Amino acid sequence: MSSDLQIPDGFVLIPETDHYALCESTGLVINLKSGRALAPQWVGGAIRTLVTRTDGSRFMFRHDRIATPAPLELTLDFVLGNEDARIIPEFSRYAVTHYGLVYCIEPFERGPNAGRIHVVNTHEHQGHEKARLRNSEGKQVYVRIDKLLVDVWG
């Protein structure tokens, strides 16, 4: 950010930008270069404002996530070493811990978790915890966590 731009009292600089600030009490976003207020929009159940990153790309900044830190990046060494997860033989892009936490260790190129190792969401169905995994052909399969634990951990 250039030194001649002053952030007004009560405003916070928006992360990944050079000259946009948010007033946390009113929700007003201003362009510090022009001094103009930007129009907020209600998109996807949250208030967002279209701003420009430092690299020139535009994105919809979500107002309620200004104080939320970026999630920690999981690594393969952490999952297989520290967590002591084992790779699932039938689903080689996934690993499971002895307590039933399933990780995707070969993430897909698209989607909300694109390109990053993440924990797979599970849900309860008919009294059993299940996860939706993709097999070697790319088809989605619902798998019971208790059966995965028996197959992998014995």
Q: Identify the residue whose tokens are 């990046």.
A: 73
- The yes/no answer on whether domain 11-65 falls in CATH 3.90.75.20 is yes
What is the tens place of the pLDDT at every residue in 101-136? 999 999 988 888 888 999 999 999 999 999 999 998
Task: Specify the pTM.
Answer: 0.62
* 83-90: long-range pairs with CB below 8 Å, 24+: 86/152, 86/153, 88/133, 88/148, 88/151, 88/152, 89/151, 89/152, 90/135, 90/151
What is the tens place of the pLDDT at every residue in 37-80? 999 999 888 899 999 999 999 999 999 888 777 677 899 999 99
CATH 3.90.75.20 location in the chain: 11-65
- Angstrom CA distances, 127 to 96, 101, 130, 144, stand at 20, 17, 9, 10
> Residue 151 pLDDT more than 50?
yes
SS3 43: strand
